[in-house]
Structure 1
Amino acid sequence: MTRAAADLFGWDDLHPAQLEAIEAVVAGRDTLAIMPTGFGKSAIYQVAGAVLGAPVVVVSPLIALQADQVAGLIGRPDAPAAIAVNSGRTDAENDESWDRLAAGEITYVFLAPEQLARDETVDRLRDAGVALVVVDEAHCVSSWGHDFRPDYLHLGEIVERLGRPGVLALTATGSGPVRDEIVERLRLDDPLILSRGFDRPNLRLEVVRHEDDDEKIRAVVDQVADEVTPGIVYVATRRETESYTAEIAERCPDRTVVGYHGGQRSAERGELHERFHAGEVDVVVATSAFGMGIDKPDVRFVVHADVPDSLDAYYQEIGRAGRDGEPALATLHYRAEDLSLRSFFASGLPRRSELRAVFTALEAAGRPATRREVSDQLALGSRTVSRLIDLLLEAGTLAESTDGFEVVGDFDARGAAEAARAIAKTRERVEKSRIDMMRTFAEAPGCRRRRLLGYFGEDSPERCGNCDDCERAESEPGSDGATGSADGTPDPAVFPTDSRVTHAAWGEGTVMSTDGDRVTMFFESEGYKVLGVTDVVEHDLLTLV
């Protein structure tokens, strides 16, 4: 393994966790690797693929991310060959790639999950003799995850159709509930689960509170003007992308400042992406569309001009800073009203009438129908129809094939609509609970890093020494920097991290963390809940399973 890493990729040293994962994958064992951003997860499948000597399918959600990964492999002349097959390439280019795979010239095949819904794609891969399926950004398969993508749901079935090669699932944000669902949805068989922690100790975490939006804007621009570049400023909307880009560019005429959002043409976004990686851009002002695949090592700051809607998203976005291990800054500019807007947008159940209409249209078709066909027939927007179909699909009322969607099971239109709404209600509660956890992170006293890591179920010291709250505590006269609870607080070991508990109203859940007299749990039907340990013990609110 180490020789292949050195000879083919130029890596003289592999982290012990990387080596452990590579050895498991080469031995044919399913593996789930949960490792922090910038850890080098891609090295696992790259080295394993070279050792296996047979095609490796890498399921990657974004074309830009696929392009970066292929370019990285092409840039290593001794590494095995790689291709990407996607809608961003011409039919002729994709056909040439398939021909090269059939001829045995290719080791790494990068595909988007929706492409694997095509029988032709699966047939070609099966004929090529795939040795390993890699699911990158595997948290996308979890409906509890912040970035759930329904097109990931069929991957477990696809692996079976490929002859059941080994599976390697990779993610940086695998909290306990998400981890369990990844294993279940991908049908991992007795997997090796490697979790090497979420902490990025070189990142300084800070929150700046604001009462007024204009004051917040000025503070963001002032900070960016003073920081060492390159850096990223995250905003909530496309309009803010444009306004902040203009403000920062005017304030910093000697810096190259660009805006990036999902409304731009794909080619334009790709060009901005490449310029940032090439060091031609000092500051990117972006929505969350500037996300997966950002692997620039020397990003010195990530500033959030708007609060993310979850700690999952926050962790992913700040993880783009300091990947070279050098000190970097993550600043959240926080205004409580911004989270109220997030909560508003998290609300809104699908209409029963629209769910029934979509189900009835598919039932009447008598054959698989596409999203566009349903949208055109019902005169509903394509995004609305996609959301409705995804809910009906997750509820088990529809099946997906290469030709589209069709009704399955014994549901009628009314029953299908209610099943889909039940899923939507659960998801709404979970999303609102995530917003509440984001609010607690921004507003509550205590070490920011401890609270962030606790959200992911990771124990950490009382104080990290590298966040604004720790700095404040250390500077206060007579303070020893501790935040522990008073004597007499129940022992946190009463509810160990990752233990399963039941609650009379919320059902069964998982303990994520205990901090002083607070225990944070995740309940499948309710989301995140926080209770006082004293109250739990005195009133027998929880039972260990």
Structure 2
Amino acid sequence: MRRPEIEVADAERQGPAPSAETEALCARTARSALGLTELRPGQLEAMAALAEGRDTLAVMPTGSGKSAIYQVPALLLPGPTLVVSPLIALQRDQVRALRAHDEEARSVDAGTSAREREATFQALRAGTAEFLFCAPEQLARPDVVKELAAAAPSLMVVDEAHCVSTWGHDFRPDYLRLGAVADAIGRPAIVALTATAAPPVRAEIVERLGMRDPVTIVRGFDRPNISLEARWVHGDATDEVTAAVREQPQPGIVYVATRKRTGQLARVLGEAGLRAAPYHAGLPRAERHEVHERFLKGDLDVVVATNAFGMGIDKPDVRYVFHAEVPGSLDAYYQEIGRAGRDGGPARAVLFYRPEDLGLQRFFTGSVPDAGTLERVAEAVADGTGERRRLAERAGVSPRRLTLLLDLLRRVGAVRVGSRAITPVAGGPDPATAADLARGLAERRRDIERTRLEMMRRYAETGDCRRRLLLGYFGEHLPSPCGDCDTCHAGTAMEPAPGEGPFPVHTHVEHATWGPGQVIRRDDDRLIVLFEEAGYRELLLEAVLEHDLLRETGPGSTGT
């Protein structure tokens, strides 16, 4: 069956498009400096926007050349380039790749000596080094921020930008500081890069990084070479997963929800004759590195892992990604299955689904900070305690937890979070009020997280085209069944509702209780709407029309 074309809106742009001269200059630089004779869709557009100093958000699949998007304008703009990347191994790979093209690139991390640091920052100031790679944790150091400000970078790159979003499946508190860091180093042009970002994640990336009138480029999320399937499992899924792994060409990845489960399942797979190893964040660093390297070299058939495994795994020949338990959102699921078939060859993604596993994910999303702890933090800031270490001590929380609490207080207008100090907002709410407001915000966020889990359930249980539902979640419309998922093979996938009629896909709407939202899927009898303040909601079309539940406010766009 021929795959249908996917409807993907062009990038939304506020303000003028890059000039033809800038695009031509970027294309010439890409050829001469990086050897790129042909650019992929979206690359030149993003390069040219950055070369003209525009903030840019690029959401493009893995393998679509996101690194070149910043490397080309970096060579055209005056001043060095700061690249924020969460993984040291990934940073070092990028440094090696740039040096192979005779570009001077450096990195700093926790293992970098004081002497090496001094030499690196001196090279940046002198203009002999163009690229500096570091993890967001390094930017929590005032000395690093001071050195970067002195170097006056012209471009700041935020890789794996979904980590900045609390909607994101890989949320990292240290990313929350990056907006303040950008201000502290002179507010260079910012490019945020990610392979996975549903509409609310994109909006939060822009807001948290303080991006100014950004060009947003979203290119297709579909990975047509990955066959999609969900299997209902009753009781323990070990036997079913083991049998499925043994049937597949190797290598592959099996994701599970808990650390304990990684060891249990890896043991069973090993007993079945497979070269299997567990991986989770609680393992010693050396052991994690060993598993990572063995997998990349082909010395392992399968890694059984929590979601700690995968970012930075650029192995092209992964033939399958199985989920032995339900992940917490379609964001996480899409990111993880995207590690299969990067060579363009056929690959499989199978979700082993037990409805009771949803309870574990609800538990993971149930934590809300208590008002007392929030109030202690707000009081400490109001009393003039603006240094993070002292704040954490006064509140009795870890530095990581403090970052999350400060973000909540910032969002309710109680504190101002700078790269060096935290200060109270003049005229903001008192500590007790701020704590109540912040807790309410956290509760709403938890409720929204649970609507995302509900979308995960709907994906697992649908009898309709599974790919159409998955792409719709990310704002793309597949106009007919894909032909390569289990529901299409079974003949249960339905043709979508015709485009005419009320509330077509991407329509902006307003609900009396849930506020503004956007239609992300429309079937004959129901709608799925993503509301800004209430998350994902499924509505019966008959009830919507009978009770006038939604008001159309304008056409939508997947580029927003």
Shift in Å, 1:265:
2.5
Aligned twin of 1:483:
494
* CA 387–143 in structure 1, closer or farther in 2 if over 3 Å, else same: closer
Aligned twin of 2:55:
30
For normalisation by structure 2, the TM-score amounts to 0.87
Select which of 263, 273, 296 maps to 2:315: 296
- Alignment partners' CA distance in 1, 2:481 and 2:71: 37
Shift in Å, 1:194:
1.4
* In the alignment, structure 1 residue 239 sits paired with structure 2 residue 266: no
2:487/2:493 contact within 8 Å kept: no
For normalisation by structure 1, the TM-score amounts to 0.89
Larger mean CA deviation between 286-295 and 179-188 belongs to 179-188
Shift in Å, 1:491:
5.2
For this pair of structures, how many residues does the alignment match?
527
- Alignment partners' CA distance in 1, 2:111 and 2:408: 28
2:409/2:435 contact within 8 Å kept: yes
* In the alignment, structure 1 residue 341 sits paired with structure 2 residue 360: yes
Aligned-residue CA RMSD (Å): 2.5
- Alignment partners' CA distance in 1, 2:544 and 2:521: 14
Superposed, 1:111-122 pairs within 5 Å as 111-122=134-145
* In the alignment, structure 1 residue 5 sits paired with structure 2 residue 30: yes
1:9/1:79 contact within 8 Å kept: no
- Alignment partners' CA distance in 2, 1:88 and 1:122: 18
Aligned twin of 1:163:
186
Shift in Å, 1:272:
2.8
Larger mean CA deviation between 170-179 and 90-99 belongs to 90-99
Amino acid across the alignment from 1:218: D
Q: Secondary structure of 1:181's match? A: helix
Shift in Å, 1:444:
1.6
* CA 112–493 in structure 1, closer or farther in 2 if over 3 Å, else same: farther
* CA 354–126 in structure 1, closer or farther in 2 if over 3 Å, else same: closer
1:176/1:510 contact within 8 Å kept: no
2:329/2:452 contact within 8 Å kept: yes
- Alignment partners' CA distance in 1, 2:33 and 2:276: 37
Shift in Å, 1:63:
3.0
Runs (5+) with no aligned partner, structure 1 = 474-480
Shift in Å, 1:42:
1.4
* CA 390–451 in structure 1, closer or farther in 2 if over 3 Å, else same: same
- Alignment partners' CA distance in 2, 1:175 and 1:111: 26
Aligned twin of 1:424:
442
- Alignment partners' CA distance in 1, 2:501 and 2:158: 35
- Alignment partners' CA distance in 1, 2:53 and 2:316: 32
Larger mean CA deviation between 90-99 and 319-328 belongs to 90-99
Select which of 454, 458, 475 maps to 1:440: 458
Larger mean CA deviation between 316-325 and 399-408 belongs to 399-408
- Alignment partners' CA distance in 2, 1:264 and 1:449: 35
Q: Secondary structure of 2:356's match? A: helix
Shift in Å, 1:150:
4.1
Amino acid across the alignment from 1:145: G
Aligned twin of 1:84:
107
Shift in Å, 1:405:
4.0
- Alignment partners' CA distance in 2, 1:405 and 1:354: 17
- Higher RCO (C-alpha under 8 Å, 6+ residues apart): 2
* In the alignment, structure 1 residue 452 sits paired with structure 2 residue 470: yes
* CA 496–139 in structure 1, closer or farther in 2 if over 3 Å, else same: farther
- Alignment partners' CA distance in 1, 2:173 and 2:147: 23
* In the alignment, structure 1 residue 326 sits paired with structure 2 residue 351: no
Larger mean CA deviation between 234-243 and 105-114 belongs to 105-114
Amino acid across the alignment from 1:132: L
Deviations 1:114-149 (A, max 9, x none): 433444333322332322111212223334333444
- Alignment partners' CA distance in 2, 1:399 and 1:189: 19
* CA 290–462 in structure 1, closer or farther in 2 if over 3 Å, else same: same
- Alignment partners' CA distance in 2, 1:527 and 1:386: 24
Q: Percent identity?
A: 49
Aligned twin of 1:521:
529
Deviations 1:425-450 (A, max 9, x none): 11111110011000000012111100
- Alignment partners' CA distance in 1, 2:79 and 2:381: 40
2:173/2:400 contact within 8 Å kept: no
- Alignment partners' CA distance in 2, 1:186 and 1:484: 40
Deviations 1:50-73 (A, max 9, x none): 344641111223334323333443
Runs (5+) with no aligned partner, structure 2 = 1-25, 554-560
Larger mean CA deviation between 256-265 and 175-184 belongs to 175-184
Aligned twin of 1:313:
332
Aligned twin of 1:478:
none
* CA 32–348 in structure 1, closer or farther in 2 if over 3 Å, else same: closer
Deviations 1:442-491 (A, max 9, x none): 01211110000011111003211111111111xxxxxxx65137xxx785
Amino acid across the alignment from 1:229: Q
Aligned twin of 1:415:
433
Shift in Å, 1:95:
3.0
Deviations 1:306-328 (A, max 9, x none): 11100000000001111111111
